[in-house]
Structure 1
């Protein structure tokens, strides 16, 4: 399409394609992935197991470690899920008027954060499944499937499925001579790509894999989630690249005054939420340090703790 038709991809919309929106979503997703890898590493080394009997000082340290890890992991996740849901609803509500370019941006943005949210939920399920407040009443040691957080995940699943169907249907109206019914893909796809077939293949494959990963936290087994997580995480760089490539290739073909670089309410609130998430994580890390110090003082040498990786060993 480069150098061809599709002279207009639609009206500029800073609340969907603004640099602040894409940066905030991308950064929050990256933070979630880093935390998820950290917990996955600790789990693989057996650092999240509760090995001591209830009532012992070591048991208190181990359970407190579970709580701190769960809090750090989930920090910002709820806000991300809600903003993801809001972004999807924006696309669905304007189904008749939204152009293909911005609908594609919504899909990649939601998928980008959806991957990180899924990674967070999968890793969060490791310590959370050992905490009574999150356990299923019928199956101890398994997460309850009907907590508000899990219900929000189910809602995201349903809305994302609807978004996937919408964009595939809208792609059937592809027309390079009509504004809003095409976009430029020379940085994202092969010059020989056939539209809308190749676009629908990309959307279908990535959405199906993400939907399967969303099911993992509530129905998957902890021993199998690491494999699912490793494969699912390959989508993050893919969607990040697609966002950058699509925005770069199409900014010069927007109608209006190219206001997507202007900072408005949508972009500002996204960056503010990112700042709140970072501050929350820093505070949670401080709590880890404070817990470490109090443990050393109260244990009288019975338990030694090291803050960076939350490893606790019995003193000889």
Structure 2
């Protein structure tokens, strides 16, 4: 466990990529929303002259609730999952614990608010059952599947962290990248489990900021205390509804199978340059061990390929994170890597 402030918690993959580069740094599928979604957003533009209404919010929450078999009162719409992380300090009474290596935004938000926060750092292969969480932690944050390790934790291990008076927050931003979402808790109601979901990754909506939280109404009420009025705009509301529809869910499920195939190809090709996964990957990105990782990252960048550095993640160092891409992009990555060798 650690309470140190020795990492750039606000470094994210978007700063590792520039326009025109082969982008393996950002975990977004595609560079633009699919055509069917763009048509919905274009139609929504005709309604942005009016303020978003409570009725609109309720209608969208009903769509999300139906997608997960929950009650609409268990749904909180968010301007991206990152907004949910920014709200977490409102839930902590004593101490927060963040399971690492993981997405660093939750810890950043907690520390910025002055919340006592403990890092629980897992050693490889990043098994959650091995985590030692402080007993006084009344909020525990864990990713599943975890960014950047791509490890999918068994749901039983996530639920095993529950304690009286403790809230377990599960970051499921990449849950829909795993076929069938086998370890997701989004469809189950627990009074002490809060699930955060993102729609920006699978639908290429990073610039629109769309997500939601699933939890007990009392927890959601604490989360939104003091929140600004009209927190989501009309385009965001319509996008959340569209991306939560049965047809959209089926599209994402099909893409999850494509991701699994592309990930296997990426791993096979990386082996030709002597690079292997640091843990068993389950999501749309792969964490790989790379001796002298910073030199390799800079060398690939000089050849027009962007990859995500990992020394900004607590618990990591000589690793790189690679987004899963199509075979042509992977071949170009490996060609650039061979040139470094």
Range class of TM-score, shorter chain: under 0.3
The structure where strand makes up a greater share of residues is 2
The structure where helix makes up a greater share of residues is 1
TM-score, structure 1 length as denominator? Answer: 0.24
- Which fold has the larger relative contact order, with Cα–Cα distance below 8 Å and residues 6 or more apart in sequence? 1
TM-score, structure 2 length as denominator? Answer: 0.22
The structure number with the bigger radius of gyration is: 1
